[in-house]
Amino acid sequence: MRPEQLSVESLQAFVAVVDTGAFSAAAERLYLTQPAISKRIQSLEATLERPLFERQGRRVRPTEVAERLLPEAREILARLRAIEQQIADLDTVVHGRIRLATSHHIALHRLPGPLAAMRARYPDLELSLAFMDSETGVEAILRGDADLALATLPDDLPGDIEAETVWTDELVPMIARGRNSETPLDTLERLKQWPAILPPVDSTTRRHIEQSLSAQGLRPRAAQESPYLEVIRMMIGAGLGIGFLPRSMATDDLIVLDWPGSAITRSLGWVRHAQRYRSRTVDAVIEALQSR
């Protein structure tokens, strides 16, 4: 191996191919041509004297060498970005690029106000938004693929993660207004008899709902699942079952039911890697979020 031939560009191409699973998709991510991506991968393979990908039609699969290289490549790129940001922070003006991972729900219902405030106060600040579920957002922070994530905060955070609550949601049971006259009227009885529409089983929101239902002796069957609360609201409104949503999402076509147990809540907030450089731009975004 000849380490002097390693380049940032080849490592960026390598990580992009691993993440997307295809040279063409990696080219789109990095705004390059596919031949340019192929050339960078070939250069990296020549330097390492090892193949990095097994071709499977239009898709590629990382080799064992690639699997071992991947965490080191991510760390190198993260450190380089931190160096660039530290130099940018020498200026008095807040500027630079922040990679922000956010759930669709937060982006739709919580982020517009802070985004407008940030744009007005920091016109030279560039936000690159990536939409993903909360669990994936935390993973992106750990991998170094995002500088900050806005997510539903899990009960147990990894040791390298720093997080703070910005918003709190109260989750309440809802049904379609057209089904409110149907019996039984008792919420618990409805949950026993009607299909439930719930978030995915591996999500923090689902765990909070199931813990509260379990305290009432209930294990409802999930007729439908969706990671998107807006989709769940649509399915409830169509009369497909009963579901739990933030109280703020109640609309004219939905009825909020009484809940006899303790309030079901979840915390939404920002997440970052505690061991990485906390730039002035990250602090500016956090300040805008917390002064909402």
pLDDT in tens, 152-182: 998 888 888 999 999 999 999 999 998 877 7
Buried b (16+ CB within 10 A) or exposed e, 50-77: eebbeeeeeebebeeebeebbeebbebb
**Measuring CA to CA, which residue among 173, 155, 167, 157 is closest to residue 213?**
173
Confidence at residue 222, expressed as pLDDT on a 0 to 100 scale: 67
Residue position matching structure tokens 């693929």: 145
Please compute the mean of the pLDDT values over residues 91-95 and round it to a whole number. Answer: 65
Whether the pLDDT of residue 93 is over 70: the answer is: no
pLDDT tens-digit profile of 236-264? 999 999 999 999 999 899 999 999 888 99
**Is residue 11 within 8 Å of 44, Cβ to Cβ?**
yes
Confidence at residue 134, expressed as pLDDT on a 0 to 100 scale: 92
pLDDT tens-digit profile of 16-38? 999 999 999 999 888 889 999 99
Confidence at residue 180, expressed as pLDDT on a 0 to 100 scale: 78
Interhelix angle 23-30/34-48, rounded to 10 degrees, is: 110
CA distance 149 to 129: 10
Confidence at residue 232, expressed as pLDDT on a 0 to 100 scale: 95
Confidence of residue 265 (pLDDT cuts 50, 70, 90): very high
**Nearby residues of 173 by Cβ (< 8 Å), 6 or more positions away:** 187, 190, 191, 242, 243, 244, 256, 257, 259
Whether the pLDDT of residue 189 is over 60: the answer is: yes
**Is residue 198 within 8 Å of 222, Cβ to Cβ?**
yes
Interhelix angle 280-290/64-88, rounded to 10 degrees, is: 80
Please compute the mean of the pLDDT values over residues 2-18 and round it to a whole number. Answer: 82
Which domains, ranges and CATH numbers included, belong to the chain? 3-85 (1.10.10.10), 91-167+268-290 (3.40.190.10), 168-265 (3.40.190.290)
Please compute the mean of the pLDDT values over residues 214-233 and round it to a whole number. Answer: 87
**Is residue 169 within 8 Å of 266, Cβ to Cβ?**
yes
**Nearby residues of 126 by Cβ (< 8 Å), 6 or more positions away:** 95, 96, 97, 98
Whether the pLDDT of residue 4 is over 70: the answer is: no
Per DSSP, the three-state class of 206 is helix
Confidence at residue 136, expressed as pLDDT on a 0 to 100 scale: 92
Confidence of residue 52 (pLDDT cuts 50, 70, 90): very high
More confident position, 206 or 220: 206
Measured torsion, CA atoms of residues 39, 45, 47, 48, in degrees rounded to the nearest 10: 160
Element (H, E) at 279: none
pTM higher than 0.85 for the full model?
no
Whether the pLDDT of residue 86 is over 80: the answer is: no
Confidence of residue 2 (pLDDT cuts 50, 70, 90): low
Please compute the mean of the pLDDT values over residues 201-205 and round it to a whole number. Answer: 91
- Give the Å distances, CA to CA, from 175 to 60, 141, 194, 254: 45, 36, 10, 6
